[in-house]
């Protein structure tokens, strides 16, 4: 890095918030897509909006690439540093500025952790709906950049559906303020366009989030099946009945084995698949809907049906589900998680084909998925210590994504394209469509300095190598979905 640039950054940040030594930078060289790594030239740690704005304008002036980063939990390599660029670490911008129970909004800085929003709103009987599995660590800034999802998207939508307003500094240096506390808006939906930009438009400084009333009553039921197909048929029957559950999740045998080993989850013996369905709402509604659901499940050839009898049992069901991915880490030295979406009616076929493809590739594959919205998360298990295995696992993951597109689905339901899937963007969009995205990107970032090399195919690739699991994953604090 030139002395000019270093001096410029030092004029914005004191030395304890401007990291340049190799041992300081090491912690930032990768995110949750651990197969890739790249060392940034510096990491800056702003504590307020003004510092973020100044550093982005500095980057614009000096044509210096930057990557915004929260907790580094991106599974698509979205917060991977870029060669010759800096990382803007936003974790210290972690204030909840306002919770307004009457307007049902929270105004937060980008470094606020997802679950902290719901915690802060809980005393008002409100919560923040999007619940990615890394929610105890991932930040709202990252959720906004990647339009994160979770288990409740079919009914309540993704991050984008809960962003009412935002202030951001664009890569051009312009400061924009869009939306408000109102659910209504006039003119183009700029918040909608900005959310999910994958860090290519700029850095969000402040976000106004919609809060929802916490449902009065939950009915969570776990059902075990002798086959994935039977579990899938139960999902079709539930959807076909006109019920709208808050969550419908399926775990396969390998995922169940992992959850048992990791969080001592206990499942009906002999089942090859487990279905989790959650209804929520006013008690009068749930009590009627749960009778309908029970009638459907009783006819679904389940080995056992276990409704959660209280909040403790409900949390235990979710704990097994949300830890399934990190748990799979105990079964295998390494794994790749995919995030494809297929139309729900093809779920059974998709799972069968994933099984065939993985057998052919000689790799084990665990399946945990948001069955209600067709969002598959196949986990390809491999040992990166064996030469060529990472490449084989990646090839299988790629085949799975292509299958999702062929079925009319998507290459990403909630993780984003990032570094990982950029070569697959062309599977879903035509060259002309990608060109249109490129023009949009250039409108926000004429110099191409905001998170360059992500989302679009054909850019320089950073080093790809076997790195093993993320330390937070090994400790079970974050998981890959």
Partner 1 sequence: MKDSLAPASIPELVDAVRSFERLLPVGGETKPRLCAVNATKLSMLKLRGTLEYEPSEFTFTARAGTPLAEVVQTLAACGQYLPFDPVFVDSGGTLGGAVASNLNGPGRLRFGGIRDFILGARFVEGSGRLLGAGGKVVKNAAGFDLPKFFVGSVGRFGVLTELTFKVFPAAAGTLTLKLAAKDMAAAARILIEAARSRWEPDALEIPAGDCSVLLRLAGPSAAIEQIAADILSRFPGEKLNSADADRAWSNIREFHWTHSTGPLVKVPVTPLSFPDLLKALEPVDRLRVHISGGGNAAYVSMPSAEQFPLFNKALAGLSLPGVSLRGEVPAWVGKQPRAQIADAVKRALDPQNRFPSLDE
Does position 409 bind partner 1 by CB under 8 A?
A: yes
Q: What is the DSSP string of 343-380?
A: -GGGHHHHHHHHHHHHHHHT-EEEEEEEGGGTEEEEEE
Q: Tell which positions 236-275 bind partner 1, by CB under 8 A.
A: 236, 239-240, 242-244
Chain centroid, CA 430 distance in Å: 25
Hey, which bits of 113-216 come out as E strands?
A: 126-127, 163-170, 175-179, 202-210, 212-213
Query: What residues contact 294, with CB distance under 8 A and at least 6 apart?
Result: 221, 305, 307
Q: How far is the CB of 275 from partner 1 (least distance, A)?
A: 17
Q: How far is the CB of 125 from partner 1 (least distance, A)?
A: 7
Q: How far apart are CA 481 and CA 467, in angstroms?
A: 19
Q: How far apart are CA 185 and CA 164, in angstroms?
A: 9
DSSP 8-class letter at 321: H
Binding mask 175-214 for partner 1 (x = CB under 8 A): -xx--xxxxxxxxxxx-xx-xxx---------------x-
Binding mask 16-55 for partner 1 (x = CB under 8 A): ----------------------------------------
Q: How far is the CB of 293 from partner 1 (least distance, A)?
A: 12
Count of residues touching partner 1 (by CB under 8 A): 90
Does position 429 bind partner 1 by CB under 8 A?
A: yes
Q: What is the CA radius of gyration of the chain?
A: 22
From candidates 161, 227, 301, 477, binder to partner 1 by CB under 8 A: 161
Instruction: Name the nearest CA neighbour of 42 among 63, 13, 70.
Output: 13
470, 472, 476, 478 alpha-carbon torsion, rounded to 10° = -90
Does position 344 bind partner 1 by CB under 8 A?
A: yes
| Alpha helical stretches, state H, 63-136 | 114-121
Q: How far apart are CA 27 and CA 347, in angstroms?
A: 39
Does position 400 bind partner 1 by CB under 8 A?
A: no
2-10, 54-62, 107-115, 169-177 -> range binding partner 1 (CB under 8 A): 169-177
Written in H, E and C, the secondary structure of 250-290 is EEEHHHHHHHHHHHCCCCCCCCCEEEEEEEEECHHHHHHHH
Sheet containing 175-179: which strands, arranged edge to edge?
A: 96-100, 105-108, 202-210, 163-170, 175-179
Q: How far is the CB of 344 from partner 1 (least distance, A)?
A: 6
Q: What is the DSSP string of 415-476?
A: S-STTTTGGGHHHHS-HHHHHHHHHHHHHH-TT--BSTTSSSTTSPP-EE----S-HHHHTT
53-61, 66-74, 122-130, 390-398 -> range binding partner 1 (CB under 8 A): 122-130
Nearest CB to partner 1, comparing residues 240 and 388 = 240
From candidates 116, 134, 300, 412, binder to partner 1 by CB under 8 A: 412
Does position 138 bind partner 1 by CB under 8 A?
A: no
Binding mask 53-82 for partner 1 (x = CB under 8 A): ------------------------------
Q: How far is the CB of 471 from partner 1 (least distance, A)?
A: 26
Nearest CB to partner 1, comparing residues 281 and 333 = 281
Q: How far apart are CA 139 and CA 137, in angstroms?
A: 7
Does position 415 bind partner 1 by CB under 8 A?
A: yes
* Per-residue b or e along 162-201, where b marks 16 or more CB atoms closer than 10 Å to that residue's CB: bbbbbbbbbbbeeebebbeeeeeeeeeebbeebbbbbbbb
48-56, 391-399, 402-410, 470-478 -> range binding partner 1 (CB under 8 A): 402-410
Nearest CB to partner 1, comparing residues 38 and 414 = 414
Q: What 3-state class would DSSP assign to 401?
A: helix
Q: What is the DSSP string of 159-170?
A: GGGGEEEEEEEE
Q: How far is the CB of 294 from partner 1 (least distance, A)?
A: 14
Half-sphere exposure of 33 (CA within 13 A, CB side): 25
Q: Tell which positions 140-159 bind partner 1, by CB under 8 A.
A: 146-147, 149, 153-158
Q: How far is the CB of 457 from partner 1 (least distance, A)?
A: 12
Nearest CB to partner 1, comparing residues 114 and 262 = 114
Q: Tell which positions 213-232 bind partner 1, by CB under 8 A.
A: 213, 215-216
Chain centroid, CA 366 distance in Å: 18
Does position 442 bind partner 1 by CB under 8 A?
A: yes
From candidates 109, 252, 278, 414, binder to partner 1 by CB under 8 A: 414
Nearest CB to partner 1, comparing residues 190 and 398 = 190
Does position 439 bind partner 1 by CB under 8 A?
A: yes
Nearest CB to partner 1, comparing residues 91 and 375 = 375
Q: Tell which positions 348-387 bind partner 1, by CB under 8 A.
A: 370, 373-375
């Amino acid at each position: 890095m030139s002395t000019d640039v270093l001096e410029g950054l030092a004029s914005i940040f004191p030395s304890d918030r401007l990291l340049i030594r190799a041992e300081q930078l090491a912690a930032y060289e990768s995110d949750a897509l651990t197969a890739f790594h790249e060392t940034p030239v510096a990491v800056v740690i702003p504590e307020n909006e003004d510092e973020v704005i100044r550093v982005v304008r500095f980057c614009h002036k000096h044509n210096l690439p930057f990557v915004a980063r929260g907790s580094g939990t991106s599974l698509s390599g979205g917060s991977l540093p870029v060669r010759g660029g800096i990382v803007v670490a936003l974790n210290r911008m972690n204030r909840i500025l306002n919770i307004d129970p009457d307007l049902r909004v929270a105004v937060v800085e980008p470094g606020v952790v997802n679950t902290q929003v719901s915690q802060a709103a809980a005393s008002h009987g409100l919560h923040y709906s999007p619940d990615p599995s890394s929610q105890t660590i991932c930040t709202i800034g990252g959720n906004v950049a990647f339009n994160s999802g979770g288990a409740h998207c079919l009914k309540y939508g993704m991050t984008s559906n809960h962003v009412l307003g935002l202030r951001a500094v664009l890569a051009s240096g312009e400061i924009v303020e869009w939306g408000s506390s109102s659910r209504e808006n006039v003119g183009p939906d700029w918040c909608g366009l900005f959310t999910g930009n994958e860090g290519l438009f700029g850095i969000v400084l402040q976000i106004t989030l919609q809060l929802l009333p916490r449902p009065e009553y939950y009915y969570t039921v776990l059902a075990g099946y002798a086959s994935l197909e039977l579990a899938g048929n139960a999902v079709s029957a539930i959807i076909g009945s006109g019920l709208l559950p808050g969550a419908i999740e399926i775990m396969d045998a390998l995922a169940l084995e992992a959850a048992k080993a990791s969080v001592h989850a206990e499942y009906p013996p002999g089942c090859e698949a487990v279905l989790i369905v959650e209804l929520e709402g006013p008690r009068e509604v749930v009590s009627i809907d749960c009778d309908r659901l029970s009638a459907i499940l009783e006819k679904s050839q389940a080995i056992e049906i276990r409704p959660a009898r209280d909040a403790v049992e409900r949390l235990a069901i979710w704990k097994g589900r949300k830890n399934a991915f990190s748990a799979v880490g105990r079964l295998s030295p390494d794994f790749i998680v995919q995030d494809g979406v297929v139309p729900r009616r093809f779920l059974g076929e998709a799972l069968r084909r994933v099984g065939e493809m993985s057998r052919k590739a000689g790799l084990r594959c665990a399946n945990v998925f948001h069955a209600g919205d067709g969002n598959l998360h196949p986990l390809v298990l491999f040992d990166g210590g064996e030469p060529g295995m990472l490449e084989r696992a990646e090839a299988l993951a790629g085949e799975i994504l292509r299958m999702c597109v062929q079925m009319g689905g998507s290459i990403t339901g909630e993780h984003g394209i990032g570094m990982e899937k950029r070569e697959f963007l062309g599977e879903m969009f035509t060259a002309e469509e990608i060109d249109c995205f490129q023009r949009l990107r250039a409108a926000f970032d004429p110099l191409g300095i905001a998170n360059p090399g992500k989302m679009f195919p054909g850019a320089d690739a950073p080093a790809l190598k076997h790195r093993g699991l993320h330390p937070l994953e090994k400790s079970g604090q974050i998981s890959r979905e």
